């Protein structure tokens, strides 16, 4: 046994000696043990201008997965490319491409493979807007960890997620991709996602991938909710509403940031030096790199700030955009721009350095290849399924439950299950489906059959399509309702109605769906439970009076259907609360919980609505049990700026079912130099409470972190005066002294 080993060692020694003789030496950047900083500098010194330009460029691979196309792409690919958006599903192909970068290029710089893993890879979790309603950041982090593992094993090292754009206009389709309207909630989910994707360490191990904070910034404020449009945003709003989640994500260690498409008050994000360089890189000390959005550098011409592609490249690079997604503008123009002294070598090197650093941190130089294990061990593992199922359940919000019609009573023997969503798994997936396959997604019908397993008979009718003029199936829906004790309607939106480039001018359910609800109500008088699957808040005022219960189930992903069935049957006690306000009508937009106070709060009301209240506020959500909140206790009623205030409240589950309750702690500051929102969420905590049990929730108020607010330069202001702490229906005054 030993002989071959001695022989092999001998050969290696000889090979080593001969390479020494020839003066070969492993370059420092290839030394796994050298510090990353030194490796980056060593590599940078060796790179030609062309090699640098390639590092700053990102293209796609496999967008069209026709085998002929893949072969063509393989043959035309320049393996010196910095990054590829990898649409393939196959680590073997990915490794084949990587091998070319490692073995066929002069310096062997690995390619960074990115992809949009927004709410799961093969195991789909609920859309982020739903996940926010769970208020369970620990669970969201686990979901991102699973997404990272599945992505890594499919060949991806970098996801373009989390999307942390605050969205207060549900007409905007991309509201589904973020965590709702609130800066604090979004910040907490930003941190959880970054840690979930990347793990805790600076050097990312093989089960994690790099995260992207996107889209930087104020993209959710697009005019009229239309995608890609202008956003008029004040510096004050930037600092208090739109920047905090990005700051939280940067502090959590996010490796990359994606600039947004939108023009921000005259300066598109892609060339916004103030935001990209002054704030992000200089003030916040962000060491990762900024990637543009898809084709966004070229689109600067359409936005009216660059006359040609040279100007696009120059403005974007010099403002701080490091990597060019897709349009090839850096690769085509930077050489010429350098010659003309319109960009600096220093800025180019800075961009390359940032990209190389992330590649080293990901371990790509030392472990460029994805381990190839059978797909059956890569995806949809039992742990992944458990987390997907729990998160789906926790993200659903019970909006109405008249006379406790839910959970379905044991006296119910038959149910009519009606609606276009009943047998349609595809539209439970939501926008950005990662690598998920519809065949892995449960259908509501199957989940109900399993849940009620012969105890309740189900009478199915489709009733109508998502949006059409055809009412020919209304009759069979009415018949199904007539022969059943209760009716459950499964309505909502198709996948493509939210997500990118999917804005809607009217956020009510399409007329045919509203008419179906009314027809069933009028023609049968049976109790109606409405289950909604959608990617945005809906305006429900037209139909809310016609239904006895509403469950907002969102687009819940692979295991969402059994979570719906579990909530309907009572196996699961709903615990979600809205992370976004539901307006009464589309015309009421914008309406969100932390608006500023009006000069005449009792007036200025829409005449046709008679109220300025929405249908459901942020934070709203019912449960099957009851909670009693004790009196909130404060450790003091007056503190100095350097002291802490501790607030506690005992919450008792006074019902008969175990539950999970989220306590939302708000602050208001009624007299400030710069007016403050009516109230601002500053802390939340979700705890399980068994029936009959009392638990204590706690909020530590550190004035600098909780009570200070930014001015329009981002400077933090902490003012003495009166503050209010609000929790449930209690409001307590306390004083802050100098
Ligand atoms: C979207 C980004 C996405 C990118 C890459 C763009 O159109 O705005 O969110 O990450 O494409 O797919």
With the most atoms of ligand 1 within 8 angstroms of its CB, the residue from 164, 174, 500 to mutate is: 500
* Protein residue closest via CA to atom 10 of ligand 1: 160
**31 belongs to the catalytic site:** no
Per-residue pLDDT at 24: 59
d(CA 186, CA 132): 8
The CATH number of whichever domain residue 261 belongs to comes to 3.20.20.300
Please tell me what DSSP assigns to residue 656: S
27-36, 370-379, 614-623: least confident range: 370-379
Give the pLDDT confidence of 286-297 residue by residue, as tens digits.
999 999 999 999
Same domain, 332 and 408: no
Please tell me what DSSP assigns to residue 40: H
The CATH number of whichever domain residue 569 belongs to comes to 3.40.50.1700
Residues with CB under 6 A from ligand 1: 85, 116, 160, 214, 293-294, 500
Contact 447, 561 (CB under 8 A): yes
* Protein residue closest via CA to atom 4 of ligand 1: 294
d(CA 170, CA 689): 33
Residue 233 Cα to ligand 1 midpoint, Å, equals 22
Contact 354, 326 (CB under 8 A): no
Does residue 1 sit within a domain? no
Q: Is the peptide bond before 396 cis (omega within 30 degrees of 0)?
A: no
Residue 227 Cα to ligand 1 midpoint, Å, equals 12
Does residue 28 sit within a domain? no
Q: Tokens at residue 446, please?
A: 């199957």
- The band of 19, judged by pLDDT with boundaries at 50, 70 and 90, is very low
Same domain, 515 and 416: yes
Burial 23-34 (b: 16+ CB within 10 A, else e): eeeeebbeeeeb
Say if residue 13's pLDDT is above 80: no
Q: For residue 718, how many other CB atoms are within 10 A of its CB?
A: 14
Q: Tokens at residue 480, please?
A: 């199904």
Does residue 727 sit within a domain? yes
Say if residue 567's pLDDT is above 60: yes
Q: Of 327, 345, 361, which residue is a domain's last?
A: 361
With the most atoms of ligand 1 within 8 angstroms of its CB, the residue from 59, 60, 160, 222 to mutate is: 160
Catalytic site residue from 136, 169, 293, 579: 293
* Protein residue closest via CA to atom 7 of ligand 1: 294
CA 36 to chain centre: 30
Angle at 21 between CA 16 and CA 26, to 5 degrees: 55
Q: Of 564, 588, 612, which residue is a domain's last?
A: 588
Same domain, 332 and 462: no
Same domain, 314 and 274: yes
Please tell me what DSSP assigns to residue 499: S
Q: What is the mean pLDDT of residues 180-204?
A: 92
Please tell me what DSSP assigns to residue 199: -
Contact 485, 413 (CB under 8 A): yes
Non-local CB neighbours of 442 within 8 Å, separated by 6+ positions = 425, 428, 558, 559, 560, 561, 562
Does residue 150 sit within a domain? yes
Q: What is the pTM of this model?
A: 0.96
- Runs of H (alpha helix) within 204-265: 235-237, 244-251
With the most atoms of ligand 1 within 8 angstroms of its CB, the residue from 162, 291, 293 to mutate is: 293
* Protein residue closest via CA to atom 12 of ligand 1: 116
Report phi then psi at 65, rounded to 5.
-95, 20
d(CA 498, CA 428): 12
Q: What is the mean pLDDT of residues 80-102?
A: 96
Contact 63, 86 (CB under 8 A): no
Does residue 62 sit within a domain? yes
Determine what percent of the chain is predicted with pLDDT higher than 90.
Answer: 94
The CATH number of whichever domain residue 649 belongs to comes to 2.60.40.10
Same domain, 121 and 218: yes
d(CA 390, CA 567): 12
Residue 179 Cα to ligand 1 midpoint, Å, equals 17
Q: Of 565, 588, 611, which residue is a domain's last?
A: 588
Per-residue pLDDT at 465: 98
Per-residue pLDDT at 9: 40
Say if residue 91's pLDDT is above 90: yes
Same domain, 330 and 268: yes
Say if residue 2's pLDDT is above 60: no
Contact 173, 223 (CB under 8 A): no
Per-residue pLDDT at 237: 98
Say if residue 531's pLDDT is above 90: yes
- Edge-first strand order for the sheet with 212-216 is 212-216, 256-259, 289-291
Does residue 614 sit within a domain? no
Same domain, 504 and 563: yes
Residue 664 Cα to ligand 1 midpoint, Å, equals 33
Residue 220 Cα to ligand 1 midpoint, Å, equals 14
Range of the domain at 85: 39-361
Give the pLDDT confidence of 392-427 residue by residue, as tens digits.
999 999 999 999 999 999 999 999 999 999 999 999
Give the pLDDT confidence of 572-608 residue by residue, as tens digits.
999 999 999 999 999 999 999 999 999 999 999 999 9
Contact 223, 261 (CB under 8 A): no
Same domain, 576 and 444: yes
Residue 16 Cα to ligand 1 midpoint, Å, equals 47
Does residue 275 sit within a domain? yes
Instruction: List, in sequence order, every residue forming a beta bridge with 647; answer none if it has no partner.
Output: 634, 699
With the most atoms of ligand 1 within 8 angstroms of its CB, the residue from 294, 298, 326, 501 to mutate is: 294
Per-residue pLDDT at 29: 98
Give the pLDDT confidence of 247-290 residue by residue, as tens digits.
999 999 999 999 999 999 999 999 999 999 999 999 999 999 99
Q: Tokens at residue 4, please?
A: 């071959």
Residue 215 CA: which ligand 1 atom is closest?
Answer: 9
Same domain, 632 and 698: yes
Say if residue 517's pLDDT is above 60: yes
Mean predicted lDDT score pLDDT of the chain:
95
Question: How many domains, in total, are found in the chain?
Answer: 3
Does residue 707 sit within a domain? yes
Report phi then psi at 72, rounded to 5.
-65, -45
d(CA 144, CA 502): 25
Pairing state of beta strands 694-701 and 645-653? Answer: antiparallel
Per-residue pLDDT at 90: 85
Same domain, 580 and 647: no
Helix 345-361 × helix 36-46 angle, to 10°: 130
Q: Tokens at residue 526, please?
A: 């049976």
Determine what percent of the chain is predicted with pLDDT higher than 70.
Answer: 96
- The band of 16, judged by pLDDT with boundaries at 50, 70 and 90, is very low
Residue 210 Cα to ligand 1 midpoint, Å, equals 16
Same domain, 78 and 203: yes
Same domain, 357 and 390: no
Q: What is the mean pLDDT of residues 222-229?
A: 96
Per-residue pLDDT at 375: 85
Q: Tokens at residue 639, please?
A: 């503190």
Give the pLDDT confidence of 306-346 residue by residue, as tens digits.
999 999 999 999 999 999 999 999 999 999 999 999 999 99
């Amino acid at each position: 046994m030993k002989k071959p080993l001695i022989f092999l060692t001998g050969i290696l020694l000889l090979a080593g000696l001969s390479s020494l003789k020839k003066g070969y030496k492993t370059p420092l950047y290839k030394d796994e043990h050298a510090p990353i900083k030194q490796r980056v500098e060593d590599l940078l010194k060796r790179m030609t201008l062309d090699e640098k330009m390639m590092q700053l460029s990102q293209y796609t691979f496999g967008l069209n997965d026709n085998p002929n196309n893949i072969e063509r792409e393989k043959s035309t690919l320049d393996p010196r490319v910095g990054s590829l958006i990898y649409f393939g599903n196959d680590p073997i192909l990915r490794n084949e491409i990587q091998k070319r970068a490692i073995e066929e290029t002069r310096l062997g710089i690995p390619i960074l493979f990115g992809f949009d893993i927004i709410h799961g890879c093969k195991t789909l979790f609920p859309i982020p807007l739903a996940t926010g309603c769970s208020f369970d950041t620990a669970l969201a982090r686990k979901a991102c960890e699973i997404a990272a593992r599945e992505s890594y094993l499919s060949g991806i090292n970098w996801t373009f997620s989390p999307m942390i754009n605050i969205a207060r206009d549900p007409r905007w389709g991309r509201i589904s991709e973020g965590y709702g309207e609130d800066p604090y909630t979004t910040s907490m989910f930003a941190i959880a996602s970054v840690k979930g994707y990347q793990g805790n360490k600076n050097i990312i191990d093989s089960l994690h991938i790099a995260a992207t904070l996107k889209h930087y910034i104020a993209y959710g404020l697009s005019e009229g909710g239309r995608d890609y449009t202008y956003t008029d945003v004040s510096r004050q709003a930037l600092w208090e509403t739109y920047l905090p989640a990005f700051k939280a994500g940067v502090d959590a260690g996010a490796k990359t940031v994606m600039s947004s498409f939108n023009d921000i008050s005259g300066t598109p994000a892609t060339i916004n030096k103030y935001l990209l360089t002054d704030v992000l890189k200089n003030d916040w000390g962000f060491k990762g790199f900024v990637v543009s959005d898809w084709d966004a550098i070229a689109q600067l011409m359409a936005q009216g700030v660059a006359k040609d592609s040279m100007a696009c490249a120059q403005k974007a690079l010099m403002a701080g955009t490091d990597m060019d997604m897709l349009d090839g503008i850096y690769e085509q123009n930077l050489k010429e721009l350098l010659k003309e002294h319109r960009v600096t070598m220093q800025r180019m090197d800075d961009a390359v350095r940032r990209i190389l650093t992330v590649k080293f941190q990901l371990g790509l130089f030392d472990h460029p290849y994805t381990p190839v294990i059978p797909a059956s061990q890569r995806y949809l593992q039992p742990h992944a399924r458990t987390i997907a199922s729990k998160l789906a359940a926790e993200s659903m919000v019970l909006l109405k439950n008249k006379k406790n019609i839910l959970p379905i009573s044991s006296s119910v023997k038959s149910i009519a299950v009606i609606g276009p969503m009943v047998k349609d798994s595809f539209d439970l997936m939501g926008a950005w489906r990662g690598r998920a396959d519809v065949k892995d997604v449960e259908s509501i019908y199957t989940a109900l059959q399993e849940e009620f397993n012969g105890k309740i008979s189900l009478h199915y009718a489709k009733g109508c399509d998502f949006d059409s003029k055809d009412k020919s199936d209304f009759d069979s829906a009415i018949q199904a309702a007539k022969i059943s004790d209760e009716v459950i309607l499964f309505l909502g939106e198709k996948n493509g109605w939210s997500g990118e480039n999917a804005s809607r001018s009217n956020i009510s359910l399409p007329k045919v769906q509203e008419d179906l609800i009314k027809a069933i109500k009028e023609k049968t008088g049976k109790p109606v439970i409405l289950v909604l699957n959608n990617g945005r808040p809906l305006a429900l005022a037209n139909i809310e009076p016609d239904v006895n219960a509403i469950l907002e189930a969102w687009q819940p992903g692979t295991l969402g259907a059994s979570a719906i069935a579990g909530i309907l049957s009572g196996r699961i006690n709903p615990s979600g609360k809205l992370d976004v306000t539901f307006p009464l009508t589309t015309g009421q937009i914008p309406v969100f919980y932390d608006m500023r106070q009006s000069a005449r709060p009792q007036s200025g009301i829409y005449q046709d609505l008679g109220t300025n209240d929405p249908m459901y506020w942020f934070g709203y959500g019912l449960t099957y049990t009851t909670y009693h909140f004790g009196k909130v206790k404060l450790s003091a009623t007056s503190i100095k700026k350097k002291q802490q205030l501790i607030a506690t409240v005992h919450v008792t589950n006074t019902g008969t079912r175990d539950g999970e309750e989220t306590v939302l702690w708000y602050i208001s500051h009624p007299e400030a130099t710069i007016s403050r929102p009516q109230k601002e969420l500053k802390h939340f905590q979700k705890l399980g409470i068994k029936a009959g049990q009392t638990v204590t929730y706690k909020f530590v108020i550190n004035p600098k972190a909780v009570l200070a607010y930014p001015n329009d330069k981002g400077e933090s202001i902490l003012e003495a005066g009166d503050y209010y702490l609000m929790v449930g229906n209690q409001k307590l005054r306390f004083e802050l002294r100098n």
